[in-house]
């Protein structure tokens, strides 16, 4: 695993000494990522998983925000440096991403964080958005007790999952007026997790549209009030397992 001062796959990201563009191994492949350390220099680890737009400035900003809350935050670059603001192109990038490759890359990200001296504890948390929200649940299902807390935002796994190994606490954020997800599918995932693990998930629903936390507003659905509420709930959950009303 390597830290580098170069721009992440050619993209400029304003940086300081607490953030780094890094690489890590994924089954013999090299994966890039953006790492941000907290002000204290150490803390629990968290993986920040991108939307289908790629590792954009929005995801980099969220990574910085998690670090400001005390986490060693890593955003893996699942698209290998590619980003877009076009929905059709984003859909193509998602379709071209093999599920097995994404799973291996995210497993490598878990290994990478747990091997870093700045990371406290023997498990990390994961948060993801849209496409990344689905990968959060898949990662928690596959990694067992290496994922302590899982926070999907408006996303479900692309393929059915075996949740029997999932031990993470789960807080999910979903939109009430989401053109991309059906409430029945969200409820079915919650029921499957409860049936297979015996634990209830905390899925919250917001009077907003899909991607309501994305202040780059590519879909025109950003909602500052609901985004603030979901963010506050997420941070409190990650710190102590509780969520404010």
* Cα–Cα dist 82/52, whole Å: 10
Instruction: Spell out the domain ranges in the chain.
Output: 2-240
DSSP result, 204-225: EEEEEETTTT-TT-TTS---HH
- Output DSSP code: residue 18: T
pTM of the model: 0.92
Q: 127: helix, coil or strand?
A: strand
Q: Are 33 and 23 in contact (CB under 8 A)?
A: yes
Q: Are 94 and 50 in contact (CB under 8 A)?
A: no
Is the model's pLDDT at 201 over the cut of 60?
yes
Q: Which residues of 146-168 are buried (b: 16+ CB within 10 A; e: fewer)?
A: bbbbbbbbbbbbeeebebebbbb
Per-residue pLDDT band for 208 (boundaries 50, 70, 90) equals: very high
Reply yes or no on whether the pLDDT at 89 is more than 90: yes
**Helices 99-115 and 131-143, interaxial angle, to 10°?**
70
Inter-residue contact 69 to 40 (CB < 8 Å): no
pLDDT of residue 83: 95
Mean of pLDDT over the chain: 92
Confidence check: pLDDT of 2 > 60: no
Query: Cα separation of 154 and 145, whole Å?
Result: 23
pLDDT more than 70, % of the chain: 93
Q: Quick one: pLDDT at residue 49?
A: 98
Four-way CATH pick for 2-240: 3.30.390.30, 3.40.50.1970, 2.60.120.380, 3.40.50.1820: 3.40.50.1820
Q: Give CA–CA dist 161/75, Å, rounded.
A: 23
């Amino acid at each position: 695993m390597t830290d580098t001062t170069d721009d992440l796959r050619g993209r400029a990201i304003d940086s300081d000494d607490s953030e780094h563009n890094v690489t890590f191994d994924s089954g013999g492949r090299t994966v890039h990522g953006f790492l941000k350390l907290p002000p204290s220099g150490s803390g629990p680890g968290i993986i920040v998983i991108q939307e289908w737009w790629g590792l954009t400035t929005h995801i980099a900003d969220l990574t910085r925000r998690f670090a400001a809350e005390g986490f060693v935050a890593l955003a893996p670059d699942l698209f290998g440096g590619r980003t877009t603001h076009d929905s059709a192109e984003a859909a193509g990038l998602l379709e071209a991403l093999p599920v097995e490759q994404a799973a291996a890359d995210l497993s490598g990200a878990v290994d990478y964080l747990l091997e870093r001296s700045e990371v406290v504890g023997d498990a990390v948390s994961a948060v993801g958005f849209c496409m990344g929200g689905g990968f959060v649940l898949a990662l928690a299902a596959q990694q067992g007790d290496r994922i302590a807390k899982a926070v999907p935002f408006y996303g479900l796994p692309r393929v059915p999952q075996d949740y029997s190994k999932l031990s993470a606490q789960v807080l999910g954020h979903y939109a009430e007026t989401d053109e991309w997800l059906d409430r029945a599918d969200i409820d079915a995932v919650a029921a499957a997790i409860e049936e297979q693990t015996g634990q209830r998930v905390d899925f919250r629903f917001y009077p907003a549209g899909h991607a309501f936390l994305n202040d780059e507003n590519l879909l025109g659905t950003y909602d500052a009030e609901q985004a603030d509420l979901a963010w506050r709930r997420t941070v409190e959950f990650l710190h102590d397992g509780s969520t404010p009303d």
